[in-house]
Structures are given as C-alpha cells and as structure tokens.
Amino acid sequence: DLPLNDRLSPAALLSALRSAGEPRLQGASVRWQCDVQGVEVLCNRDTLVGALLNLIENALQASVGAPRLKVHLYRRDETVRVCISDCGKGIDAETLGRLGEPFFTTRTTGTGLGLAVAKAVARAHQGDLQLRSRPGLGTCALMSLPLIPATHKPE
C-alpha cells in the first residue's frame, strides 16, 4: 500500500508539478491554472507528481507541432480534478478504450505503462483517472482526487 503522508493544497500540487515538469516543457506553451482553495489533498507527493508527469509527457507526445497544453485544477463536489489537456489529433474511441492496458501503446517506443501506472496511482489515492478525447481536437487526462479540509496551522 502506498503511504499517503503528504497534505498538499491544490496550488502546492500544481506548483510541485510545474517545477518537476519545467525541464521537459521547453518550447511548449503551457497554461497552469488552479481554481481550488481552502482544501488539501492527502497524497504521496512524489508518486502523485510522477504519475501526473507521465500524463504531461503523453500530452506532449500527442501534440502536433509546437505543444500547447493546459493544466487545470478545479473542484467538483468533494474532489479536485486535475485536467491535463492537449491540442493533439485526439484518440478514436476504440483506442481510447484500450489505453491504460499494460503494454498497449500507440507509440513505437512506448511500453504502455505510463497510463497504467497513472491509473494505479489515482486508485491508491482513492481517486480515478479518465481520458476524454475528441478526434481532431485533442485529449484531456482527468485525474480526480478526494479532498480533505485544510489544516489551520498556527501562524
């Protein structure tokens, strides 16, 4: 079992992801947006950031021309949604249904494990991972994670 010893605000998660992703995102245009405050995510920071980096990597590789990505955190009921969207060519429904199966990949050098790992990490955080795609318009990887009330630390 994955120990969930870190409490991060969604803004802190976004910022950790941003610094971890920076080296790979040279030349890409990325919009970082966080619309959640006053709550936290109970997580294993390094594992979670690693899984989200996998999703960013996928989005980069799906991009045609100069990559344009958006990383958006927003709240839906008691969850925070981390949406990583690209403007790539999108994925057809049949392929979409198989993505996340270990060793199924659409890339010549891929193992197909990036998404499988990201799904497993989402589940270890009592969350889930969905992919939504519109051929011709791009794909959004959407990880949902449960929220907990923020702890008020004395100043």
Residue with the two structure tokens 């920076």: 22
Q: How far apart are CA 11 and CA 117, in angstroms?
A: 23
Q: What 8-state DSSP symbol labels residue 151?
A: P
Length of the chain in terms of residues written:
155
How do residues 18-76 score in pLDDT, each as one tens digit?
A: 999 999 898 899 999 999 999 999 999 999 999 999 999 989 988 878 889 999 999 99
Q: How far apart are CA 85 and CA 89, in angstroms?
A: 12
Q: Considering the entire predicted model, what is its pTM?
A: 0.89
Q: How far apart are CA 73 and CA 80, in angstroms?
A: 7
Q: Residue 115: in which H helix or E strand, if any? A: helix 113-124
At residue 82 the predicted structure's pLDDT band, cuts being 50, 70 and 90, is: very high
* pLDDT (0 to 100) of residue 112: 67
